[in-house]
Amino acid sequence: MRIGHGGFRIEMGGKEMQPNGKSPRKGVQSIEVGFSILDVLMNSTRPLPLKSISKISNLPPSKVHSYLVSFTTLDVVRQDSTTGHYGLGPRALKLGLGFLDQFDLFSATRPVMAELADQIGITVFLGVWGNRGPTIIYRADGPLSETVLDIRVGSVLPILRSAVGRNLAAHMPGNVIRPLIVQELSHFMASGANDTIEDPQTLVTAERMFEKVRADGISRVRGGLISDYSALSVPIFDFSGAPYGALTIMGRYNSFDDTFEGDSALRLKAACASISAACGFTPRKEASQG
């Protein structure tokens, strides 16, 4: 049994199962094959020759060509008249735009948050970057959540003293974040404490901290908002790789393992990977030109 990278998928005895224990429903295999070809084109930054698509998809060239002919007729795929290479067509763009019109982050996130809170036992927050900064828009409580944790929906949190603030700021343009960091440092960080990545007191150290957050894929604050509480936060990315929001877990020091290698952090990352995938995000992989 294991947690899959793309969500809370379960595998038992080599057979993939749904979270409710049922076997996957049967579908139309030809459609699945066709979309495996489209996935190759989607993950490439440029049109590809037939032999590269065949190699990456592990399908015979003749079979790939038959699908590409149909996709080209439907304008889902286009073929370059000069090189003969294949790329996504205008109808693929319309499909993507239709998805963006219909997608609702709140609806996609709520069930994942409820399951995560039940698994790890503590509170899970959904935060986004609002007009006034990092803003909590939803929370799901677990069995170990405490009412003393007085962070409500609508709360606007500081950037440097909250895990969600550090997380979102780390993935936003520097010219947007830098003036806000300078302002926050002047208001909140004039404490005379040591200037460290865990507790930045200068802009230079804050930017080093943001680099570490991006490298780790997760941020942490211990005692930043409430003493004796620790928080971990992981980003949710949209289709373009921009931060859509973040999930943050928060609890007392002794109520969960707040290390980056701990079970709570791994489950949090899996949950955010699942939501990011639902947002249309796919980590870029350069396709071989073969």
Give a three-class secondary structure readout of 236-277. Answer: EECCCCCEEEEEEEEEEHHHCCCCCCCHHHHHHHHHHHHHHH
Contacts of 96 (CB under 8 A, 6+ apart): 239, 280
Contacts of 20 (CB under 8 A, 6+ apart): none
Q: How far is CA 158 from CA 132, 136, 162, in A?
A: 10, 11, 6
Q: Is the pLDDT of residue 260 over 60?
A: yes
- pLDDT tier for residue 215 given thresholds of 50, 70 and 90: very high
Q: Is the pLDDT of residue 130 over 50?
A: yes
Query: How large is the average pLDDT for residues 200-212?
Result: 89
Q: Which residue in this structure is represented by tokens 């677990």?
A: 142
Q: Is the CB of residue 115 less than 8 Å from the CB of residue 130?
A: no
Q: Which helix (H) or strand (E) holds 166?
A: helix 163-170
Strands (E), 107-151: 123-130, 133-140
Q: Which residue has the higher pLDDT, 92 or 287?
A: 92
Question: What's the pLDDT at 106?
Answer: 80
Count of Cβ atoms closer than 10 Å to residue 132 Cβ: 8
Question: What's the pLDDT at 62?
Answer: 93
For domain 29-99, give the fold. Arc Repressor Mutant, subunit A (1.10.10)
- pLDDT tier for residue 52 given thresholds of 50, 70 and 90: very high
Query: Would you give the DSSP letter of residue 24?
Result: P
Query: Would you give the DSSP letter of residue 49?
Result: -
For domain 105-278, give the fold. Beta-Lactamase (3.30.450)
Question: What's the pLDDT at 134?
Answer: 92
Long-range contacts from 140-148, C-beta under 8 angstroms, 24+ separation: 140/110, 140/113, 140/114, 140/116, 141/117, 142/117, 142/118, 143/118, 144/251, 144/255, 144/256, 145/117, 145/121, 145/251, 146/252
Lowest mean pLDDT among 42-46, 213-217, 234-238, 247-251: 42-46
What is the distance between the alpha carbons of residues 153 and 135, in angstroms, rounded to a whole number? 8
Q: Which helix (H) or strand (E) holds 17?
A: strand 15-17
Q: Which residue has the higher pLDDT, 7 or 93?
A: 93
Q: Is the pLDDT of residue 174 over 60?
A: yes
Query: How large is the average pLDDT for residues 16-35?
Result: 68
Closest among 232, 230, 229, 244 to 274, alpha carbons compared: 244
Query: How large is the average pLDDT for residues 141-151?
Result: 75
What are the sequence ranges of the domains in the chain? 29-99, 105-278
Q: How far is CA 286 from CA 44, 58, 87, in A?
A: 6, 17, 14
Question: What's the pLDDT at 285?
Answer: 55
What is the distance between the alpha carbons of residues 5 and 240, in angstroms, rounded to a whole number? 19
Task: Please tell me if the domain spanning 29-99 has the same topology as the one spanning 105-278.
Answer: no
